[in-house]
Amino acid sequence: MDIEFSKEDLEFQKEVRAFIEKNLPTGTELWTKRTRWFDALRKKGGWDIPKWPVEFGGPGFTPTQRYIFDMEMGRCNTPPQLPFGVGMLAPILMNYGSKEQQDRFLPGIRDGSVNWCQGYSEPGAGSDLANLRTKAELSEDGTHYVVNGQKTWTTLAHIAHWIFCLTRTSGDGPKQEGITFLLMPMDDPGIEVKPIITLGGSHSVNDVYLTDVKVPVENRVGEEGKGWTYAKGLLIHERTGLAGIQNSVWALEKAKDTARSVKVGKRTLMDVPMFRNKVGELEAELMALEFTELRSLASASEGGDPGPESSIMKLKGTEIQQRISELNLEAAGIYAAPWGTQAVGHKFARGATSGYLGGRATTIYGGASEVQKDVIAKNVLDLGS
């Protein structure tokens, strides 16, 4: 495995750093900053969609360039792209969607004019996703499906224009069969969204109720009953993204800076051996995770597909995210207790508790840690079928 960057890759890294330094907006309202940033990326020539292939407008990055690009963006904490359209649905449409679906949906996904949410999890079908019960019945004339059921923990459903949804069209055979991938507009009168306020106090997830929703057959992606195949491919990419490795590199550096600002007697918190040891352990594990990503990169550079490495990265990456939030909570100390709208003590303390509580979900969504361990045991350690 060769994990050294070539001369060309190092030149590309310099180009990315120069672009960030020149174009990253500062001191502006978040949404305005995000809009200006992605406008600059788009004008650069597909940098707003770095993982898309050239035929769909992507920049044609090599796997190594994609890694470098993500690494530099993460290290500078650049505005994130909403993942559901660009990073999750788009690859499914490119690989399994019809030409008409690609022409219809990809432009709005790219320019951000159409927001998407993911209709996967249900009550009783979270980590055991194949147990889903939302039913889609084909009409007698074969022109549309009628969908009834409930989705839960649906992130950003309250601001989404469309939802991509796994539905059950058949109960025969293994439960992984008979699942169909459908696209639905969220303004359909049969769709109702109810908020779920999380432990951290935020409204990001929702319950979505589907009652007699009519979905034209042209909104079915791929073949009927093949949705599980498409969903598995999507989950591999989702889990890799959820690992958040590059963002954790930035977050850990920020946590260290925060600790240096907290006085403990005549020292700073960063000088306290127990705290410094925790930081050192995290840095070592994060570095090991980066090398795991590089191994996956080496395989991709030779034409391989993402495999069980995505579960390793998701498992460890989300655990590291939680431990970084614990460092911030420890640094905030007593000032983390009165969390919410009013800041007390250190400025960073206001978000310490909400970040910690909200972060409890990272090891659950996208496939709980127990599921990732099963995948690793079967496909990496070969511990049974």
Q: Measuring CA to CA, which residue among 68, 34, 61, 36 is closest to residue 47?
A: 61
Structure-derived torsion over alpha carbons of residues 350, 355, 356, 359, reported in degrees to the nearest 10: 170
User: What's the confidence (pLDDT) of residue 212?
Assistant: 98
Q: Measuring CA to CA, which residue among 72, 46, 69 is closest to residue 57?
A: 46
Q: Measuring CA to CA, which residue among 198, 93, 92 is closest to residue 155?
A: 198
CB 361 within 8 A of CB 230: no
User: What's the confidence (pLDDT) of residue 239?
Assistant: 59
The gap between the terminal CA atoms of the chain, to the nearest Å, is: 29
pLDDT by residue (tens digit) across 77-132?
898 888 899 989 999 999 999 999 999 999 999 998 999 999 999 998 887 888 99
What's the rounded Cα separation, in Å, for the pair 147 and 182?
10
Neighbours of 165 (CB within 10 A): 28
Q: Measuring CA to CA, which residue among 68, 50, 70 is closest to residue 59?
A: 50
Q: Which residue has the tokens 């649905």?
A: 89
- Would residue 46 be called left, alpha or beta, if left means φ above 0 and alpha means ψ between -120 and 50 degrees? left
What's the rounded Cα separation, in Å, for the pair 127 and 121?
8
Question: Looking at residue 361, what DSSP letter applies?
Answer: G
Q: Kindly list the distances between the CA atom of residue 114 and the CA atoms of 66, 106, 188, in Å, as whole numbers in the listed order.
A: 25, 9, 15
Bridge partners, residue 137, by sequence: 146
User: What's the confidence (pLDDT) of residue 1?
Assistant: 46
Residue 223 known to be catalytic? no
> At the fourth CATH level, which superfamily is domain 243-379?
Butyryl-CoA Dehydrogenase, subunit A, domain 3 (1.20.140.10)
CB 139 within 8 A of CB 185: no
What's the rounded Cα separation, in Å, for the pair 46 and 49?
5
116-226: CATH number: 2.40.110.10
pLDDT by residue (tens digit) across 349-380?
877 888 888 888 888 887 788 888 888 888 87
Question: Looking at residue 87, what DSSP letter applies?
Answer: I
- Point out the catalytic residue in the list 72, 238, 309, 330: 238
Low-confidence ranges of the chain (pLDDT < 70): 1-3, 28, 234-241, 297-307, 339-343, 384-385
Residue 334, phi then psi, degrees to nearest 5: -65, -20
Rg, Å, the chain Cα set: 22
Start and end residues for every CATH 2.40.110.10 domain found in the chain: 116-226
What's the rounded Cα separation, in Å, for the pair 134 and 119?
10
Start and end residues for every CATH 1.20.140.10 domain found in the chain: 243-379
